Structure 1
């Protein structure tokens, strides 16, 4: 009786056995593909995380006090702007729209370059390195109303408010090549100039 029951059960199992939908080799191939897709997804997620981290870092660094408050002009178009101001180094005077502004330029040891200077950026406030101020290695200055310039030789120069010596503009040349103005004049000029404008600097 027991042998008959066992045989019947075996026959029943054989009748209802479902063959695998695909061969074993195909199942292994699909398993390999799934593993590769998982590795690719993990790697892609790591790249996205790294890109987000870099973007956040750059954004934080760009929030410094030297960030321009007006967008720099494309280099290709800067040379086509007209002269909006002239500077006479010998007379310590800058003329803009009929208004004369007293200036303090570079000393004999650090003369202000002459020629066409192009405005490249305009800063509400900018930290100037101690080596550029001439006030000693430990003194970085944070100056307001800074206009960044490009000299004919392609170097950077600046129009700044001489907050540390308001009496120098118009009387004495005390900078290391910068063009210094009184604070009120520097603010007025800062609000008028745009990247791409040209200032003509002459000696006499």
Structure 2
């Protein structure tokens, strides 16, 4: 019975056996390719992880060595000096002359008056040997004190360019020809403003008026300089609205 049952079961199994859909060789090739893909994926994952570690290390290194750059100077710091004048402290700006900006004041060389905010300030301008430039000028820098060459003071050729003097409340102007001129406090000749043209191109003010104007004007403000200096001496006058 045992042998007959075994034979019957074997025959029944053979009758219902499903033949493989693919040849054995093809099954082996697919298995090889599957294993190769698995190894490649594992290697790629390791490479990505390694790259991530390198990127993290580089990022950490760069972050640790970040340089801190100083911001550009703004108003309230040291003024930028011109080649001919040194030792100034104040505020400076690179503002260029404004061709269309409305002037905040006018310097009338013939009347020896600078009018700003309704206030008339006596001035002294350049002589025939060193006339004051005319036209629209912009304020480019201000200096509470500045070393100025004596060749702008009108003190004579024998001392011109050889000495410097420290003056307060200096305002630097840019002329229409892109040159430089200055409004200064004439501490060395307080009687000249309003009476006598005694500079070599500068616009000179009394010290009290120069300080007031220094507080009024800002870099970028535009002044108009007009008229021609008479060269004659006039009596002492007190312009309307001027500082006592």
TM range (shorter): 0.5 to 0.7
Match of 1:119 in 2: 139
Gap runs ≥5 in structure 2 = 1-77, 229-244
Match of 1:171 in 2: 195
1:150 lines up with 2:171 in the alignment: no
Q: CA separation in 2, counterparts of 1:81 and 1:70?
A: 21
CA contact (8 A) 1:133 1:140 kept: no
Q: CA separation in 2, counterparts of 1:154 and 1:74?
A: 12
**Matching residue within 145, 148, 157 for 1:128:** 148
Tell me the CA shift for residue 200 of structure 1.
Answer: 0.4
CA contact (8 A) 1:112 1:176 kept: yes
Residues 98-144 of structure 1, C-alpha deviation per residue, up to 9 Å, x if partnerless? 11000000011111111101101011011012333343144311100
**Matching residue within 71, 86, 92 for 2:106:** 86
Which secondary structure state, in structure 2, belongs to the residue aligned with residue 70 of structure 1? strand
Mapping of residues 10-49 of structure 1, within 5 Å: none
* Structure with the larger RCO, 1 or 2 (CA within 8 Å, 6+ apart): 1
Residues 24-59 of structure 1, C-alpha deviation per residue, up to 9 Å, x if partnerless? xxxxxxxxxxxxxxxxxxxxxxxxxxxxxxxxxxxx
Structure with greater proportional helix content: 1
Q: CA separation in 2, counterparts of 1:71 and 1:128?
A: 16
Gap runs ≥5 in structure 1 = 1-59
Match of 1:9 in 2: none
Q: CA separation in 2, counterparts of 1:149 and 1:127?
A: 16
Q: Which segment drifts farther, 127-136 or 179-188? A: 127-136
Match of 1:72 in 2: 93
Residues 14-33 of structure 1, C-alpha deviation per residue, up to 9 Å, x if partnerless? xxxxxxxxxxxxxxxxxxxx
Task: Select the structure of larger CA radius of gyration.
Answer: 2
Which secondary structure state, in structure 2, belongs to the residue aligned with residue 83 of structure 1? coil
CA contact (8 A) 1:104 1:179 kept: yes
RMSD (Å) for aligned C-alpha atoms: 2.8
CA contact (8 A) 1:104 1:170 kept: yes
Cα 1:134–1:170, aligned 2, differ >3 Å: closer, same or farther?
Answer: closer
How many residues in Structure 1 have an aligned counterpart in Structure 2? 146
